[in-house]
Chains A and B, each alone.
Chain A
């Protein structure tokens, strides 16, 4: 398949892996920001090709994992209301709220529909004028652009029965927050290619400069990831800290202007709470004033949501690169995909789910790499 197979060819990948081994002279800790990259690494077992001294840690780039508990509880409350059709991407359904997941609400009779594109939710609203259709608009800039399209279309069609429950995140402030943390172990970043295809990468330039950290915009195929790693390692070894673009086939420096205009029309930058990380200023996208009539939180009078915070899952530390899934005492024992204690074990983009699904050997290897210094 074009644009896939050529980035999975064994010979080329082995060649890059050899380069990485040759050029690595000391230990480095590099974060791949996106959950999709984590899955590609673990699924293809790219870790087995790397020198032991390179440690990959996993970033907060899984929108399913970082959607706050309160928002999940709110989604569950809305989805359980009579007369509501609740539309969501599939992997949000399993995420545990304080007591239930959306899958539980569905099993108890809630009309919850898995959609593949935000525009499907608009179509469902058109087809069911007597129902209230709510779309769970979760995602980073990439998905937010499609969500903005759905909101725009609903406005154009003057749909009165369509609204969005928004939980959208901006990646740059999260990377900045990781860089600024005094206990951070991350020395270089592989930035999420698909986010940069919308935003470009100019916003990373001051970050790289301020925190003296290399940032390489990287794609999702095995070859992309190894190339991104090699570019990042060369900078680390040379002591430089530039923003580089490995994902040339999809990302331009200034990004996708029409998509940015669409985003700016529909959403405004807001403070955002990240599940496991807490609130990060200016790291979210909320509905802009002109679109506030599409805000599901205003449309439905819900009782006060009181999320039940309990603290056994270490997802925050995992997403900051301070710990890895295997460091969690619950990993693979009391926390498993069929009994998750936290969102990273649920979502198909979650680091714990990736580790659990693809490998027990990873756990063994990482345990052998862990030292008191990196706990």
Chain B
């Protein structure tokens, strides 16, 4: 059996040595009770700190401010970052989808202009794919882009755009040929979300915070130079973007909920049948099963790192993580809320509770996790079709015309 190389272990040691002195300022405890705005401000400072130390954009080329390392170092870094609860989430979309796509398809001038500031946390980028009429059916995009001299005029509506209210730029897929078959008439651009004609409307979610937005494009002018890839190539590029996402899906075995330790601490205080809840078999079963699941996910992550190191494509680890992590998080959160009894009802949205530290928020946010970034059903389809070779769903939209 192969294990991680001494070089990578040494990299991990360096990362740990870099991070530990910053825990007091940026770690989990420092973020408790911060408003969303303050947390984002903290995240920007942490991103700048990483950039100054050469740890932002680990896989990005050095000429654009990156570190020129591999996915492996990236995975190791992200795992250590997550373990300390540093605020990195606001830049995950920017740096794992739009910016890598710019690096692949934009001109050198554009890369030089956009990539370094994004790495320093000065810009946040959005991904504008979903629309009211599309979800998992990405090719059903209706937002139009019409050629006008050297520019394109974009009109339409995007939705479920993560952090668009804080974003400066985004990548968008728009229909440039309404007569072509639906998968072929799309083109991929990047857009200035502060431009004339762009309206961002936050969507309040069931837990009352707004991570997602509707974004309206009302004759927004975009230069042709901001097109990525060929005209009509948008669907392919969008799928490519999503594949990067699956590839880099963050590996947090708690499903982004509070750690198991928090449930144990709670169960130590709580009583069931006049005994400490920690002695209750039902609580112990939840703890044991959650532990076993989380360790299994951790092992899958570790294996995928080694697969990468061996030069092999990892499998659908990201999909499994999201699917299983979200379920495990629900079990843990429900157990915690049960132990709290009626106190479990307490929830103050104005205090901006975070799903990583607050059980009520974790439970309320769990439906989101099952949908965002690919529904459970789509992930199961991916596993069934791509790995197990089961037949594809009936797809009349893909039948030859």
> Do A and B belong to a common assembly?
no
- A-side residues, CB < 8 A to B, are none
